[in-house]
Amino acid sequence: MIKVLVVEDSPVVREFLVHILGSDPGIRVVGTANDGEDALEAVARERPDVITMDIHMPKLDGLEATRRIMETHPTPIVIVSGSADPREVATTFSAIEAGALAVLPRPPGIGDPAHEATARELVQTVKLMSEVKVVRRWPRTRREAPAPRATETGLASEPARVRVVAIGASTGGPPVLQTILAALPKDFPAPLLIVQHMAAGFIGGFVEWLAQSSSLPIHVATQGELMRPGHAYVAPDGFQMKVERGGKIALTGGEPENGLRPSVSCLFRSVAEVYGCDAVAGLLTGMGRDGAEELRLLKEKGAVTFVQDKDSSVVHGMPGEAIRLDAAMLVLPPEKIGAVLRNLASNRGGKERNS
């Protein structure tokens, strides 16, 4: 049985969530809390396997409660948000930064057409997150890693240039992407394409949250958009994101890959076809294997490939699979990925590919 603590200030919503979670035979709700202070006491008392967390609460809000729980009793936390406003959603990603694993929309009431699907997603996410072994959060301030010398990466003699950077991430990805993008200068010479797996409805707020700490303009990608150097493009909900010749983004309603839309595999495959050895691509923390085979394809075409290391990954599924397939040229912690991207861009940016 998975023990769950429900933290929510509204009595009606609290009981509603208890009903949804308790209806699954594999879940037992061991307690509830109506504010962050109650949550801290309940976590110490009940030692739940997973916590569902509201953000806007009296006394101690969900952001600060998440931060304190991850510092004292690290526990998988799922943010359940009742807001679709991008600015408010951006606030929920501060809780992800503090250590929460996922953010989901609050299921609508029974009878709503979306109730069954969103309730099922909540139950499935709680079950998946119960398997994640969380640790105490990284310190909130970290020194920026120095960029490795070109000879340290073994890439100094590569004659290609960096024309695009593609990155895929899932569980635990948002704060890692934040770290990487914050380390890149505003004159970074290539566009960045990002697929981050998350529940529908949160991409706009996610992009707004990323923009708060990055000097790069960050956009939700649009159909036919011409990619610009020094801009980051995040795949929108419900579409596969590809690149086309001429540097344009293509969004399609194609079938899910690895059960996902957007899929990292779809993006990486198109980058391999269009850019080949002129690309840099990487896989960050996340469950499953989305993008791993295609990262190997990129490596075979001469692209520079990297993955996040195991110690810093919340879940090492995607990067671990890529390592198993010998798809990664570099295995790096988050604070070094931005430094390596800067180094590659400066060392390869002025070199034209031999024809």
Residues marked active site are found at 170, 197, 290
> What contacts 5, CB < 8 A, 6 or more positions away?
29, 30, 31, 32, 33, 39, 42, 43, 46, 48, 50, 51, 52
User: Looking at this protein, which amino acid is placed at residue 164?
Assistant: V
Question: Long-range CB contacts (< 8 A, 24+ apart) of 261-264?
Answer: 262/195, 262/197, 262/235, 262/236, 262/238, 263/195, 263/290, 263/291, 264/168, 264/195, 264/290, 264/291, 264/294, 264/318
Strands 102-105 and 77-81: parallel
C-alpha to C-alpha distance for 101 and 172, rounded to whole angstroms:
6
What are residue 7's phi and psi, to 5 degrees?
A: -110, 115
Instruction: Enter the tokens of residue 163.
Output: 């024309």
**CB-neighbour burial class of residue 115 (10 A; exposed 0-12, middle 13-18, buried 19+):** middle
- β-sheet with 2-7: strand ranges across: 27-33, 2-7, 50-53, 77-81, 102-105
